[in-house]
Structure 1
C-alpha cells in the first residue's frame, strides 16, 4: 500500500443517518458551525447542508449555486466573476475499489455507463469529455501471479502472464489511469486507449466497450479510494510527462465518481486533506466539482468517504451500492452536472 499523503488515519465524526443523500447548492439556511468536539447538524433536507464534521469549515450562503470559500482548504474568494458555463467540457474520474466481492457493483456501473453518457451528451451540444478510471491500489494485477505465473502459482486461468514483463511505472503508480486491468475478475486485456493516454477522449472508438474494459478492475487489490483520488489530483501526475498528462483541464468541470463496498479506513490522510487536493486541482473552486458516490448512503460515523463527498463540495449525491440498477442514480448525477456547469467559471 503506497501512501501519498502524510497524516493520521483517524476517522471523522459522521453524519446523522437521517440526512439526505442528495444535495444541490444550498437554498435554505446556513449549516451551523461545529462546536467543541462534536459536529454541527442541520435539517438534512434537500437543498441544505448536512452535519459538518469537526475538520470542516464549510458553510452555505443561502443563495443557489454559491458557497462561502473554504479558507481551511486554501480556497480563494472568486469575487463576482460572471459564470460562462462549462460548455460541455467535462473531466470524468471514476475511482473504483478492487476489493473482493466488487464484481456485481462493477457490472452495474458498466451497465449504467452508456445511458449516463448519452444523457450528458443530450444536455450539451459540444460535449467534450475526458474519462479516466483509477483503482484503489498501487499494484498491478495479482502479486501472487506476478511472482509465479504458472498454473501451480497463479489461480486465475485467464491471467495475462505475458504482460508482466511489460508493465510500466505508471501501471504501479497510485492515482494513475487504468489501461490494463488484471487479476481475479478483471478484464485481463489491454483496453486499447488511443493516443497513448491513460484516459478516454472523443477520439476513442467504441466508447462504451472500452469503458467496460477499464471499469472491470477486478477483485485482487485494495480499496484506498481517498488515497487514490488524492494522488490523481497532484500536479506532477497531470503535468507534461506525468502518467495522466492532460487529464485535468482548467476550463472543464470535474465529476468524480466513487464506487466501493467497504469503508475506507486506511487511506493516508483524512477527508479534509483529500478535499484540499481536489480543490487545489481546480484552483480552489469547489463549485467546479461534482461529487458522486455509489457507496453507503447512511453515512455511519466511520465513513470517511461520505465525509469527503458530502461536506466539502456543494454538488453531491450518494447512491446505495446495493441498488439493482445504478441508472436512476446517474440520472440524478446528470442533473447535478447540468446545474454545476451553468454556474461554472473557467480558470
Structure 2
C-alpha cells in the first residue's frame, strides 16, 4: 500500500533558499557633497562586513562596488601630471597608473579609486576579478579600499546600477564577468544624495535588474541611503521604493550606517526563505 499520511517520505524537490549564494552590489556616489557621508560610510565598513560574515557565514557571497560616473580619477589632477601641485601633490595622485577601459566604464567594479578622499592606490583582490569572493584576506581593509570611491566625480546612481548588471558588463570577457549568478539573491545598496544626474529613468533601471534576474522581482533586495523622505526628484530612491517588494530606505543624516544595513539584510534573509532559483 502507498503511504498517504501527512509526512513526506522524500525531501522537498525545491532547492534551499538562495542555494546559499548572495551577490552584494554597492553603488556609491562620487559627488563632492559626499565628503561627510563618505566619512560615515568608511566608519561603517567594519559593521557591514561583520553583518555579512555573521548572518551569511554559511553563504557563498560576492561583493562588488561600483561608483556613479563614467571616468577614472580626477581630471583636475590628471591635467597636472606628472608635475603635481597643491592638493594633487599632497594626496599623492597616481599619475603612473594607466587606466584600463574598465576603470572608466560606467558600471564596472572599482579596483583603483583615485582623486579627492580616495585611497589613490590599487586594491588587492584575491579573486583576480573586479569584485570580492568569499575567503578574501583582510576583508574589511579590502572592502574599504574598494568602497572609498572619493568625492571627485558624479552622482549617476541609477545609470550605474543598470550598467553594472547589464549583459554588456556581465557577459564572458566583460568587466564584471562572473559577479552575477542565476542561483544567487541580489542585494543592491545605493548610497548618495538625490539622483538628479542620471540620464535614464527608474523604469529602465528596474527592467535592467529584472532582466538580470530573469524577471523575478523577489530575487532582488534594494537598500537606499539618501534623503529618507524619498523626494520625487531622487530617481534612485524611486527605483528602490516602487519597483521591488523587498526594500529599505535610510537617511544620510543618521549617526551611523551600520544599524540600517543590519535591518536591510534582514530582508535578504526573508527573501532567501522564499527564493527558488530558476
Which residue is equivalent to 1:119?
Answer: 51
Check conservation: 1:159, 1:182, Cα contact below 8 A. no
Which one of the candidate residues 145, 163, 175 is aligned to 2:96? 163
Alignment of 1:1-347 (within 5 A): 84-149=16-81, 150-152=83-85, 155-164=88-97, 166-261=98-193, 263-347=194-278
Q: What residue number does 1:4 align with?
A: none
The 2-side partners of 1:117 and 1:302 are apart by: 31
How many residue pairs were aligned? 265
Which residue of structure 2 aligns with residue 55 of structure 1?
A: none
Query: Are the equivalent residues in 2 in contact too, given 1:83–1:342 (CA < 8 A)?
Result: no
Shift of 1:186: 0.5
2: CA distance between counterparts of 1:259 and 1:169? 24
Which whole-Å deviations, capped at 9, do the CAs of 1:222-251 have from their partners, x for residues lacking one?
A: 000011111101112111100011000111
Worse overlay, 332-341 or 97-106: 97-106
How far is the alpha carbon of 1:334 from its aligned partner?
A: 1.7
Residue 155 of structure 1 deviates from its aligned partner by 3.3
Q: Identify if the C-alpha distance between structure 1 residues 123 and 155 changes in structure 2 by more than 3 Å, giving closer, same or farther.
A: closer
Q: Which stretch shows the higher mean deviation, 228-237 or 98-107?
A: 98-107
Change (3 A) 1:127 1:82: closer
Cα offset, 1:83, TM superposition: 6.6
Q: Deviations over 1:287-310 (max 9, x none)?
A: 000000110110122121111000
In the alignment, what sits opposite 1:13?
Answer: none
211-220 or 110-119, which deviates more: 110-119
Does the 8 Å contact 2:77/2:84 carry over to 1?
Answer: no
Partners of 1:341 and 1:114 lie apart in 2 by: 24
Helix, strand or coil at the partner of 1:148: coil
- The CA deviation string for residues 201-239 of structure 1, in whole angstroms up to 9 with x for no partner, is 113110001111111111100000011111101112111
> Following TM superposition, by how much is the alpha carbon of 1:117 offset from its aligned partner in structure 2, in angstroms?
3.2
What secondary structure is seen at the aligned counterpart in 2 of 1:342? helix
Name whichever of 186-195 and 287-296 sits farther off.
186-195
1:195 shift after superposition = 3.1
- Of Structure 1 and Structure 2, the greater helix share is in 2
Q: 1:121 and 1:153, CA in 2 relative to 1: closer, same or farther beyond 3 A?
A: closer
Judge conservation of contact 2:127–2:133 (CA < 8 Å) in 1.
no
Q: CA deviation at 1:264?
A: 1.3
* Cα displacement (A) at 1:119: 2.9
Aligned partners of 1:210, 1:181: CA distance in 2, in Å?
Answer: 12
Gap change, CA 1:125 and 1:172, over 3 Å in 2: closer
Uncovered stretches (5+) of structure 1, i.e. residues with no partner: 1-80
Distance 1:203 1:121 in 2: 10
Contact persistence 1:184–1:218 (CA under 8 A): yes
Q: Is the Cα contact below 8 Å between 2:49 and 2:139 reproduced in 1?
A: no
SS at match of 1:110: helix
What TM-score results when the alignment is normalised by the length of structure 2? 0.90
C-alpha distance in structure 1 between counterparts of 2:226 and 2:192, whole Å = 6
Assess, with a 3 A threshold, how the Cα gap between structure 1 residues 83 and 104 changes in structure 2: closer, same or farther: farther
